[in-house]
Structure 1
Amino acid sequence: MNRETDEVRAAIAGELRLMDPDVRGSRSLAQELLDPDFVEVGASGRRWTYEEMLAALPEMDGAAASGPRYEPSHFRGVLLAPGLVHLTYETTLNGNRARRSSLWRRRGADGTWQMYYHQATPVPLDGV
């Protein structure tokens, strides 16, 4: 179910910004988008904390402006509760597909949206 609310659009915009090489290469820009309680379970199965992700992001796939970029598709979003959005989508990078899920929550007096949780699951080459 895709409810294109302002909240869902804000979460999708944040997700797309996190795929931007300029954001991936800048700790201060990435900090704006990641919740201090952020956790990720990556496609490799590794668990990432906020600090680990901020430190590694500039070296991760999709961070080089001249390199391959994530190609996102099939965004679906649901407002789970006031200030909490669940997104699902797919990405392709270098021919590798992943299904992704993230939780975004609105924080602070200014209502900033930040990613609280992210999970990536690789899709096998014959996966549907």
Structure 2
Amino acid sequence: MSHETDEVSEAIACELRLMDPSVRMSRSFARELLDPEFVEVGASGRRWTCDEMLAALPDLDGAADDGPRYEPSKFAGVVLAPGLVHLTFETTMDGSRARRSSLWRKQGADATWRMYYHQATPIPPDSM
């Protein structure tokens, strides 16, 4: 289910920026997109804080221009409240697939969209 609004479109654009190798390689660019209270539960089950993610992001998959990249699909989004968008989508990278869920919020003096929470769940190879 998708309720495409300007807010959902903006959150999707930010999500796609976070998959861009040039953003993943730059802690300052990535910091603009991650909320200071950001938390991720990765496909491995590891829990990441904002500082941990910013430190590791340049070394994670998808950060090299000449390496594998995330191939996103099936974006859906809904505005949960003013300034709060929930996105769901799937990614493929090097044959591995994951279902993903992100919360994006817009608040504070700069009022820009920042990822507040992200979770990735691996999709088994034989699953649809």
Shorter-chain TM-score bucket reads over 0.9
Q: What is the Cα deviation at residue 109 of structure 1? A: 3.0
Structure 2: which 5+ runs fail to align?
Answer: none
Distance of 2:2 and 2:109 partners within structure 1: 27
What does residue 2 of structure 2 align with?
2
Q: Aligned Cα RMSD in Å?
A: 0.7
Distance of 1:14 and 1:34 partners within structure 2: 10
- Equivalent residues in 2 for 1:1-128, closer than 5 Å: 1-128=1-128
% same residue = 76
Distance of 1:56 and 1:92 partners within structure 2: 20
Q: Secondary structure at the match of 2:53?
A: helix
Q: What is the Cα deviation at residue 84 of structure 1? A: 0.3
Distance of 1:93 and 1:116 partners within structure 2: 23
Q: Which AA in structure 1 matches 2:8?
A: V
Q: How many residues align?
A: 128
Structure 1: which 5+ runs fail to align?
Answer: none
Query: TM-score normalised to the size of structure 1?
Result: 0.98
Distance of 1:126 and 1:120 partners within structure 2: 18
